[in-house]
Amino acid sequence: MKVMSIAAALVAALTVGCGGKEDDHAGHDHGTPAEKTDAPAPGAAQEDPFAALGAEDAALAKTQKTCPVSDEELGSMGTPLKVEVKGRAVFLCCKGCKNKLLADPDTYLKKLDKAK
């Protein structure tokens, strides 16, 4: 019974996308589950999603807290993706957010500055 609940939750999460709402990211491709991050297989022990970043980047990502593109909590989809834009490190929830960031970096950098 518990396995079915976990499987149902996983299917629902993958169907809806990272925003939790179907409309939040219309036309926003977050890629396949395998492309998102190196997330553990369902049922596997959860590891620290920031561990693969190294101490300095992990601290920066934890300070940033959310993806400026999707507003998702960093680490909620596995290891955050680090992207350098205009001389600044920006962490994203997944690879699917990278193109939007690069297409309009000023908007997302301003959003990060307001969040400080």
d(CA 70, CA 76): 12
Q: What is the domain partition of the chain in residue ranges?
A: 2-115
pLDDT the model gives residue 78: 94
Reference 95, options 59, 62, 67, 53; nearest CA is 67
> At 88, phi and psi to the nearest 5?
-130, 140
Please say whether the dihedral angle defined by the alpha carbons of residues 14, 19, 3 and 44, taken in this order, is positive or negative: positive
pTM: 0.63
pLDDT tens by residue, 56-93:
999 999 999 999 999 999 999 999 999 999 999 999 99
pLDDT the model gives residue 43: 52
